Amino acid sequence: MKRMLSRIVVASGLLLGSSAVSVAYAADVAVAKPDAAKGEQLYANGDAARGILACASCHGAAGNSTIPANPNLSGMPHEYLVKQLGDFTPKDDKTPPARRGPGGANSVMTAFATALTPEDRQNIAYYLAQQQLDPKTAGNATKEATMERGQHIWRGGLPERRVPACAGCHSPNGAGIPGFYPRLSGQHPSYIEEQLKLFRSGDRANNTIMHDIADRMSDADIAAVADYAAGLR
């Protein structure tokens, strides 16, 4: 019965999540047809005239970051990336961005994202979505002791605490699902862990479903599933 209930929660969550974001996306898409070459240029070199640092200096060549604090972006869904760049940007002087860092402070990304035009976001996201995860620099699982726990949560969730299976939305192999479900396989485990804690604290307030999921998980659950997810391929 409990298992049944958690399936229903997942299904309705999926519907709610996608209808809310597709409205926001539709408004952005109307701007321009994405241009991967322009996206690559801005990603790799930045734009000194506009004070935009090269994204590659932190996120690595073609979105394969070698620094664990900076997420891998290669092969992430186009729409997901566009949404994040919007969520880092404050709507006006009085409203903080929906996606913030620890303690509610602006994320390091807020300044960079705010400097981008809607066309820039579309172009960079389109370019990154076409890149491949580099197995040489990708994140990996390293914690043997919590592997089984992580796999249990990934595949079956924690029905007793109404945590749905991660695999249902991030796909069984962690590759994500086109549209709005990010890839977690090969992501740096410390980044995954940090994001789950930011969802839980509400500093990353750009997705209600992920807040509710993280809110029902202990630090140990979060660490176990973050490590396991990173090791998926």
Cβ-based neighbours of 167, under 8 Å, separated by 6 or more: 154, 155, 174
CA dist 182 and 188 (Å) reads: 13
Report, in Å, the least distance between residue 213 CB and ligand HEC: 5
In the bound state with ligand HEC, the residue whose beta carbon lies nearer, of 122 and 206, is: 206
Q: Are 107 and 195 in contact (CB under 8 A)?
A: no
Task: For the CB of residue 5, give the shortest distance to ligand HEC in the complex, in Å.
Answer: 14
CA distance 43 to 53: 9
Task: CB nearer to ligand HEC: give 83 or 92.
Answer: 83
Residues 6+ apart with CB under 8 A from 218: none
| Least distance in angstroms from the C-beta of 1 to ligand HEC | 19
Give dist(CA 121, CA 224) in Å, integer: 33
**How near is the Cβ of 99 to ligand HEC at its closest, in Å?**
6
Nearest approach in angstroms of CB 136 to ligand HEC is 20
The Cα 210–Cα 23 span in angstroms is 19
In the bound state with ligand HEC, the residue whose beta carbon lies nearer, of 117 and 135, is 117
CA 171 – CA 161 distance, rounded (Å): 21
Q: Which residues bind ligand HEC (CB under 6 A)?
A: 10, 13-14, 17, 52-53, 55, 57-59, 69-71, 73, 81, 83-85, 101, 107-109, 112, 116, 124, 153, 163-164, 166, 168-170, 180-182, 184, 192, 195-196, 206-207, 209-210, 213, 225, 229
What amino acid is encoded at 13 in this protein?
G
